[in-house]
Amino acid sequence: MKVFKNHGTIGILTGGGDVPGLNPAIRRIVGSAIAQNYKVLGIKRGWAGLVEMVRSRNVDNRDCFEEFSQSVLNATSMHVETFLHSSRTKPSELKADDVPEHLKDLYNEPTNDLTPEVIKNIEYLGIDCLVVIGGDDTLKYALRLHNEGVKIVGIPKTMDGDVPGTDYCLGFSTCITRTIDLINTLSVSAGSHERFLVIEVFGRYAGFTAMLPAVVGVATRCVIPEYKFSVNQLAELLVEDRAKSPDHFSTVVVSEGAKFNGFEPQPDATGHLTHGCGEELAYRLRKASAKYNGGKRIDTIFQNLGYLVRTGCPDFSDSIVPIGFANVAMESILNKNFGVMTALRSGKYTTSPLEVVASETKVVDVEKFYDTELLCPKKAEFSGRQMMWMTSL
């Protein structure tokens, strides 16, 4: 019988928030790697798996990693959520309470950098290359490991669509598709009661998820993190939109990171927002509307779409792009091209240097694509532009 040589060990993890499209990418990488005679280890719960594991064969580490096989892939074929699970653990900034018990004697500062333990654990597992699927936070830490000698291939994913170096990130299309669908559904109630419809969506630093629903016409106005707006200005515009609407309602889409005079979104310890401005904005719009509506206030319907747009089955783009990204990732591994991130640029699959994640910021180009007087996207020339034409990059 012919004996096939093991080509090495590939580790794979998903970090940060979950998005549709993670499992198709994982399955394609694992299937391709096994076919190429690689051993594949799935790291559980993002970076947490590499922080919490114990380097001993006498310890049960099944909550931290598992070896993949074809039977494991078959058993997870119907899973929608990431079957590796995820977390927002950041090993370089771990609070004292989050340090694993077996490491508390070594790391007892208020904030601790456990990167040395992560690298030791990677070496202990015999991982030759680590495939990291995540957003800017996850990929920035992957860059840190790359700079310290770990062979890394990244795959970008985020609902916000704001990872630099690529025109597309896993999860973005499904987010926009669901946002449009839910706005259309909620518009029924807004029209029935002749109200303002205030929809809050993802977008800490970039307003892409608010801009695109406005572009396709399910909202008349959008407010984004890149431009600080006035509540009175928005109220006047929404009153005008409502008066012109046959169904007597108007809609604004609000990025969670949007800010207006008197309100700044507050980040938590991980840098993520505890809440956006949507609910407070809906309250203030109701009060401000009377000034532009003959002294009569207009009621609002507020809805934070949140996890409704990041769960469930992926749409077409988030079903096919993960396959392309996974194939590019495997090609990079086979070609020993590390320190890169898979990417889509001008409609073509390629790679970008992982450094781009830390060196650039991908946001809406306000001057070119956002009308600060009308609080909506400008009409843009589409010819020759990438799909995400409103980016600053």
Give the span between the Cα atoms of 375 and 385, in whole angstroms: 22
Residues marked active site are found at 160
Residue 176 has what DSSP assignment? Answer: H
Distance from C-alpha of 286 to C-alpha of 239, rounded to nearest angstrom: 10
Contact partners, residue 237, CB within 8 Å, separation at least 6: 220, 221, 374, 375
Q: Phi, psi at residue 196, to the nearest 5°?
A: -80, 140
- What token pair was written down for 88? 């927002």
How many CA atoms are closer than 13 Å to the CA of 57, on its beta-carbon side? 0
Are 136 and 360 a contacting pair, CB within 8 Å? no
Q: Looking at 98-207, which runs of residues are DSSP E strands?
A: 111-112, 129-134, 152-156, 196-201
Secondary structure of residue 236 in the 3-state scheme: helix
Q: What is the distance between the alpha carbons of residues 343 and 132, in angstroms, rounded to a whole number?
A: 13
Give Cα separations from 225 to 45, 176, 199, 222, 264 (angstroms): 30, 17, 15, 10, 10
State how far the Cα of 313 lies from the Cα of 75, in Å rounded to an integer. Answer: 17
Among 382, 360, 308, CA closest to 156: 360
Unique residue bearing structure tokens 């950098």: 113
| Consecutive H or E run containing 122 | helix 115-125
Residue pair 114/120 in contact (Cβ under 8 Å)? The answer is: no
Half-sphere exposure of 352 (CA within 13 A, CB side): 23
Q: Which residues make Cβ contacts (< 8 Å) with residue 8, sequence separation at least 6?
A: 38, 39, 128, 129
